[in-house]
Structure 1
Amino acid sequence: MSTAAARLAAFTSALEIDQIPAEVVDAAKLHLLDTLGCGLAAHALDVAPDAREAMLEPGTAGPATVIGVKSGLPSADAALANGVICHALDFDDTHTGAIAHVSVAVVPAALAAAQAAGASGADTIAAIVAGNEVVTRLGMAAGSLFHARGFHPTGVLGVYGATAAAARLRGLDAETTTQALGIAGSMASGILEHLADGSSTKRLHPGFAAHNGIVAARLAAHGSTGPSTVIEGRFGLYNAFLGRDDLPIDEQLADLGERWETPRIAFKPYPACHYVHASLDATREVIADTPLKPDEIAEIVAITTEAGVSLVLEPLEAKHRPRTEYDAKFSLPYSVAALLTRGDVDVTTYIGDAIGEERVLDLAGRVRYEVKEYDTFPQALPGGIRITTTDGRVLEAELDYQRGGPENPMSAGDVGAKFRTNAELALSGSDVDGLEEAVLGLERLGSLDALKALGRARAQQGAVA
């Protein structure tokens, strides 16, 4: 039997848009649109200028567009900069079965590689779908195991999807793509230690993945080789990172081209860790029926899965008072308290002085949690809330499926509205309209020239870095 990398390479290197069902193409375009909107909002708020400035430092020009940069950059540098900025708000999509951010690794690599190759919109979509299917299947075979070991699946797995997309756009054959995936295994990386102090390394991970995917494909094209057993081998992905040689990767690869995971990638309605979303929507459901003021609340119990605890609830004292903007995005107590205090959670919730507002932190200090086993996890990220009022009432709600996933979807209109809200922070109305039209009609475009509008994105005056 051929190796996992060889099977993935055979599928991705030959994938053409006419082999992809229309609903999968539509989903891929919506995820592309959403990813770009997230990056435009982050640029407008000047949240993560470091990656962009680092890639600009050498002063080297190239063919690939970077959000907020008028002149192009070399493809690998552009992929890194865009991967970081599109993930900076943690507003981008997640495949819940793989527990990985998919588009922020695959899309920046695909766009940069496509512009470098002068590829068509149709080929770009095929490459994005190819990369998506690689990341999701590798992740679904492992579930929450990477997180349990302290690894970030977005970085560890994203590089394989980025490599597949970049190789497809370079026109590499199956054998050379297998070599590229083998090379990518030595570039797979990403640890979750940012949780210790709220530092910003997590948002670098998809940038590294996108950058390294382009480099892996480039190296393979010039003759470098990598192990074809990079996934299941004695020192391959699963053994090296997880100490496991029994994961069901064969099962995940058996129906490539028949089952499509791209439409199952979940959109985010909130710019925070996906493990807080179900509890936020449950809170919204409670207060829609029973409006509450913070001083009427005695205690809040967040209900979540065991897998979410280490990310958004422990150490609880630190989650009660997040230290940095990124720390706040991984605090379920802060997020719920912000919703109850301010009435909404949006991109401003986790920016600047907002995370230090004492009335929010006071309420966050009244949050504890309970762990529950849900049948829907890890295919979904369920959760709930139970609020006890000062007069003894108990108000509660739960979601088995978080909003934005396939079982509780955001509509195409919802995703478009999210894109426009985000993009309008950084672009003129005409550029927003033109970019949306180009992405939604991408398969009909002979080039990606329309995406150069991303380079005209501007930061808002007085935005908080």
Structure 2
Amino acid sequence: MTTTTQTAAQRFAEFASGLRAEKLPQEVTETACLHVLDTLGCGLAASALAEASYVVSGAEEGAGTGPATGIGVVHGLPAAEAAFVNGVLCHALDFDDTHAESVVHVSAAVTPAALAAGEAAGADGATVLAAVVAGNEVSTRVGAAAGGVFHARGLHPSGVCGVFGATAAAARARGLDAAATAHALGIAGSMASGLLEFLADGADTKRLHPGWAAQAGITAARLAAHGATGPATVFEGRRGFYATYLAGVEVDLAPGLAGLGSEWNTPQIAYKPYPACHYTHAPVDALAKVLRENPIRPDEVARIVAYTDKTGVDLVLEPAADKVRPRTPYDAKFSLPYCLASLLVRGSVEVASFTADAITDEAVLALTPRVGYETREYSPRPDAFGGGVRVETADGRTFEAELRYQRGSTENPLTEDDVRGKYRANAGLALRADDVRGLEDAVTTLGQQSGLGFLSAVRG
């Protein structure tokens, strides 16, 4: 079959099954390893803070034992359950990476699926590294073909698109050929899920989405390995993924498919400097710049006007009544008024800013009603997460700052030292210093590891 007659799933499958770590560009290899490190650090911090502890206790209750590692779980787990536990924990703090064009939290689904499938298959590090990159490239392309439209439809791209990346990763880690991988992707189309309704009351469901995606990826690959079939036209079919989830929207996967294996999205995935929705980051950094250059006390602030795009308004600024007084810690992560007020009052937006006690701090909540907004566009690319602020003081002064691209993106990057430092701070909440260092050394040389035994460090 020639590439011109292949469906999108078959093209993705050919790419994923044939990917070899030794053929990857150095930048892709190094970036992929850093994203795995960053992701594990986020999961370890969540575990240490007992975030989403129900997923660990649930696994301990009924999952049984198996060859794969769950963060904070003392015994081994079946691969699908380990992928679920780790996917939820790695996303639980909303501190994990995001690909701007697709608006997908990529690594929280792909890394758990690749690691769990790799452990179950006894794979070496090079195989798992290839699996991670395969998953990254599939997730981002599936999401980028529709830009921010999933959000507009009330769907969470990290779940509905992430399941395809997780499936590609799991299939590559267990060594499926192109035909079986295509079937796995077809199966995954019936597992794509994730609603944004958590925004209504700050419920826990959003953090479950990467876990479900990772678990579904393991399951889809396993079923395909045992002969189950999935529709070859899962993406472009009349009743396929895009036609049903985005009915009426023209979607073109062709540009993404054309670049497979020669153009790489993995280095474009953005790290998060703050444990909150990406739409809060640029305004928070803009306010930090204003405060560095013009020390302003909270009682001097008459009004803060935040700048963001329409999607940012819908996610972190409206409905205003909910955003000025977050109902849950997770709700606060999607409140730009809360994040800006936290920075102004406490001088920081960090993991400790989103505890149950922190979100009831009246000194912070006294400022949130003073935050308004204006919509602006910062990039022709959908969802580049630009933003800014205008601070107006009671005595008539005005200060303004903007970031066209959020910090952590390729246009405004964190350094490798920044990413390693973030990992060490997060992992240090859960692990002894020598285990923090050992895990860092192993993950950043993933392609050279003979196996995945180093993951034992993350067990409870």
TM over 0.5: yes
> SS of the residue aligned with 1:298?
strand
TM-score norm. by structure 1 comes to 0.97
Which residue matches 1:311? 315
**In 2, Cα distance between the equivalents of 1:379 and 1:345?**
22
> SS of the residue aligned with 2:306?
strand
> SS of the residue aligned with 1:435?
helix
1:48 deviates by 0.9
Deviation per residue, 1:45-78 (Å, 9 max, x gap): 1111011111221151111011111211000000
**In 2, Cα distance between the equivalents of 1:149 and 1:246?**
14
Task: Indicate yes or no: 2:90 matched with 1:81.
Answer: no
Which residue, 391, 395, 401 being the options, matches 1:397?
Answer: 401
Task: Indicate yes or no: 2:34 matched with 1:30.
Answer: yes
Which residue, 333, 340, 346 being the options, matches 1:342?
Answer: 346
**In 1, Cα distance between the equivalents of 2:388 and 2:241?**
34
Which residue matches 2:438? 434
1:171 counterpart letter in structure 2? G
Which residue matches 2:142? 138
> SS of the residue aligned with 1:391?
coil
**In 1, Cα distance between the equivalents of 2:312 and 2:53?**
29
Which residue matches 1:173? 177
1:136 deviates by 0.4
Which residue matches 2:120? 116
Task: Indicate yes or no: 2:106 matched with 1:97.
Answer: no
Identify if the C-alpha distance between structure 1 residues 252 and 42 changes in structure 2 by more than 3 Å, giving closer, same or farther: same
1:374 deviates by 2.1
Identify if the C-alpha distance between structure 1 residues 436 and 255 changes in structure 2 by more than 3 Å, giving closer, same or farther: same
Which residue matches 2:294? 290
Deviation per residue, 1:69-127 (Å, 9 max, x gap): 12110000000000001100000000000001000000000000000000000100000
1:361 deviates by 0.6
2:176 counterpart letter in structure 1? L
Q: Structure 1 segments of 4 or more deviating over 3 A?
A: none
**In 1, Cα distance between the equivalents of 2:130 and 2:79?**
19
> SS of the residue aligned with 1:291?
coil
Greater displacement, 279-288 / 371-380:
371-380
1:377 deviates by 4.0
Identify if the C-alpha distance between structure 1 residues 271 and 386 changes in structure 2 by more than 3 Å, giving closer, same or farther: same
Which residue, 185, 190, 205 being the options, matches 1:186?
Answer: 190
Deviation per residue, 1:293-330 (Å, 9 max, x gap): 11100001010001111110100111000000000000
1:376 deviates by 4.7
> SS of the residue aligned with 2:95?
coil
> For the aligned residues, what is the CA RMSD?
0.9
Which residue, 231, 234, 251 being the options, matches 2:235?
Answer: 231
Which residue matches 2:359? 355
Which residue matches 1:414? 418
TM-score norm. by structure 2 comes to 0.98
Deviation per residue, 1:358-378 (Å, 9 max, x gap): 110110110011101222542
Which residue matches 1:447? 451
Which residue matches 2:155? 151
Deviation per residue, 1:231-255 (Å, 9 max, x gap): 1111111111011462120111111
Which residue matches 1:260? 264
> SS of the residue aligned with 2:425?
helix
Which residue, 103, 106, 123 being the options, matches 2:110?
Answer: 106
Residue ranges of structure 1 left out of the alignment (5+ in a row): 457-465
Task: Indicate yes or no: 2:332 matched with 1:328.
Answer: yes
> SS of the residue aligned with 2:365?
helix
